[in-house]
Amino acid sequence: MHDFGDIFVKILVINSGSSSLKFQLFSLPDFKVIASGLLEESDDEQSPARMTFPVNSGETRTINTTLPTTQERPAISAMLGLLRAYDIMDDENDLAAIGHRVVHGGEAFHEPVLIDEDVIKAIEKLIPLAPLHNPANLSGIRLLREHVPDIPQVAVFDTAFHQTIPEHGFLYALPHELYTKHKIRRYGFHGTSHGYVARQAAEYLDRPLDELNIISLHLGNGASAAAIKNGKCIDTSMGLTPLEGLVMGTRSGDLDPAILFYLSRETGMNMDELDNLLNKASGLKGICDENDMRTITKSAAQGDQRAQLALAMFCYRIKKYIGSYMAALGGVDCIIFTGGIGENSAIVRKMSCAGLHPFGITIDQEKNALRHKKRAAIHSTESSIQVLVVPTNEELEIARQTLQVLTTASLHKGKNNAI
């Protein structure tokens, strides 16, 4: 038996990437994390797997092991093996459900859904829109359906939150048939995070979400902004793919598309090379050879001019999005900073909001400089717009949405299972 007291059921959250698997196991009803792990799949014999879980003493225990390289996608069975071996999940039947992060839901999915064969087919059809992510997400879903066929699985889509964006916001000014024939439009990503922090902000401000206009800035390795009007997303900076919008760790964000034609003609670069250039070798990395904001901030403070430039470009792009979303929303109640950079970098928050006092945004530098591990307001008393730091928690949000889908499905069946 496990050591965790009165736990009846658990929810497992899976983020299955092309060469790694991240998981978190939550106990219900309080959504406490009882184990989390990262398993990396490679041809290397030392492919690492790590699982962390709290023990009775209140401390955390970490298990480091390696994955077999003989199996295809060994991470799923290794994860289940680890959970069993350490008595964290001695019986799969105490799993209420498995929630999967699925990157692209296209226009097919506006909300999380219980996974069945039709849902799998629909996610498969969306592979051209997310050729790296959706196949990886699907392989996780399929393998878990084989390993634990009786456990309900739920797909939570990164794009779903943005499905409320109106047509004039999601369409590109391209021939209309590119949308009708090829589904080329803005989809947006990080939706689970934007939705989560918006709700967290409403709770913190003690106001109904549907009365709030919010600009949410998710700044991590990937970065995106969302304009949220009365609780619903009306615009976001990422587009057909996560490449558009803000300056990111290795992605360029917005640029003149003609740069690609020019480069192709001038240098003969092919599509794959251009793709790699914009997704992997641009952004902060392209500007200053470094994509970790901690290092960039340190180098900038020591006088490194490229690092200073990277920081300035990163923050200037954010400021432009704040301005344009203020116009799109026609009045803003609060701005949220989240993600690894948004939550931790006082200098990024300061530079992104610098000079915005004529628009009602003033940061309190002392509050901004504090380390915020939980929700906190960092605006000054004269600021008419509230500026918040809100830690995101996509896994928790996926677990909550998974439970919600399950509860709704059970109610539809006219019975409420053991939740």
Q: Does 339 bind ligand ADP (CB under 6 A)?
A: yes
Helix/strand/coil percentages in the chain, nearest 5: 40, 20, 40
- Measured between alpha carbons, how far is residue 243 from residues 131, 272, 277 in Å? 14, 14, 11
Among 153, 192, 297, 402, binds ligand ADP (CB under 6 A): 297
Pair of tokens at residue 417: 């299972």
Q: Does 99 bind ligand ADP (CB under 6 A)?
A: no
Q: Which of 158, 254, 292, 364 is catalytic?
A: 158
Q: Does 315 bind ligand ADP (CB under 6 A)?
A: no
Query: To 10 degrees, the CA torsion angle through 37, 109, 125, 191?
Result: -50
Reply yes or no on whether 90 is catalytic: no
Q: Does 197 bind ligand ADP (CB under 6 A)?
A: no
Among 37, 74, 152, 222, binds ligand ADP (CB under 6 A): 222
**For residues 275-294, which are near ligand ADP according to CB under 6 A?**
292-294
Number of residues that bind ligand ADP (CB under 6 A): 13
Binding mask 345-384 for ligand ADP (x = CB under 6 A): x---------------------------------------
Q: What is the Cβ-side half-sphere exposure of residue 295, based on CA atoms within 13 angstroms?
A: 9
Do the beta carbons of residue 377 and residue 387 sit within 8 Å? Answer: yes
Burial of 161 (0-12, 13-18, 19+ CB in 10 A): buried
Q: Does 300 bind ligand ADP (CB under 6 A)?
A: no
Q: Does 221 bind ligand ADP (CB under 6 A)?
A: yes
Among 39, 78, 341, 385, binds ligand ADP (CB under 6 A): 341
Do the beta carbons of residue 349 and residue 337 sit within 8 Å? Answer: yes
CB-based closest residue to ligand ADP: 340
Q: Which is nearer to ligand ADP, 2 or 101 (CB)?
A: 101
- Give the integer Cα–Cα distance in Å for 192 and 327: 24
Which residue, among 89, 77, 17, has the nearest Cα to 53 in the 3D structure? 89
CB atoms within 10 A of CB 211: 11
Do the beta carbons of residue 388 and residue 204 sit within 8 Å? Answer: yes
Binding mask 255-274 for ligand ADP (x = CB under 6 A): --------------------
Q: Does 106 bind ligand ADP (CB under 6 A)?
A: no
Q: Which is nearer to ligand ADP, 25 or 341 (CB)?
A: 341
How near is the Cβ of 133 to ligand ADP at its closest, in Å? 13
Interface residues toward ligand ADP, by CB under 6 A: 220-222, 249, 292-294, 297, 339-341, 344-345
Catalytic residues: 158
